[in-house]
Chains A and B, each alone.
Chain A
Amino acid sequence: GAVVSQHPSWVICKSGTSVKIECRSLDFQATTMFWYRQFPKQSLMLMATSNEGSKATYEQGVEKDKFLINHASLTLSTLTVTSAHPEDSSFYICSARVRPEVPEQYFGPGTRLTVT
Chain B
Amino acid sequence: GQNIDQPTEMTATEGAIVQINCTYQTSGFNGLFWYQQHAGEAPTFLSYNVLDGLEEKGRFSSFLSRSKGYSYLLLKELQMKDSASYLCAVRDSNYQLIWGAGTKLIIKP
Residues from chain A with Cβ under 8 Å of B43 in the complex: 44, 93, 107
* Residue among A45, A103, A108, A112 making CB contact with B33, cutoff 8 Å: A103
Q: Is A49 close to B, CB under 8 A? A: yes
Indicate if the CB atoms of B99 and A104 lie closer than 8 Å. no
Q: Which of A12-52 contact B (CB under 8 A)?
A: 34, 42-46, 49
- Which bracket fits the contact residues of A? 10 to 19
Indicate if the CB atoms of B41 and A43 lie closer than 8 Å. no
Residues from chain A with Cβ under 8 Å of B50 in the complex: 103
Residues from chain B with Cβ under 8 Å of A82 in the complex: none
Interface size on B, residues (CB 8 A): 20
Indicate if the CB atoms of A44 and B99 lie closer than 8 Å. yes
Q: Is A8 close to B, CB under 8 A? A: no
Distance in angstroms between the alpha carbons of A109 and B31 in the assembled complex: 24
Distance in angstroms between the alpha carbons of A87 and B31 in the assembled complex: 34
* Residue among A46, A100, A104, A110 making CB contact with B95, cutoff 8 Å: A100
Q: Which of B41-72 contact A (CB under 8 A)?
A: 41-45, 48, 50
Distance in angstroms between the alpha carbons of A46 and B4 in the assembled complex: 15
* Residue among A103, A106, A110 making CB contact with B48, cutoff 8 Å: A103
- Shortest CB distance A35–B (Å): 12
Contacts A/B (CB < 8 Å), 24 sampled = A42-B101, A43-B99, A43-B101, A44-B43, A46-B96, A46-B97, A49-B96, A91-B40, A93-B42, A93-B43, A100-B95, A103-B30, A103-B31, A103-B50, A104-B33, A104-B48, A105-B45, A105-B97, A106-B45, A107-B43, A108-B42, A110-B40, A110-B42, A112-B40
Binding site for B on A (CB under 8 A): 34, 42-46, 49, 91, 93, 100, 103-110, 112
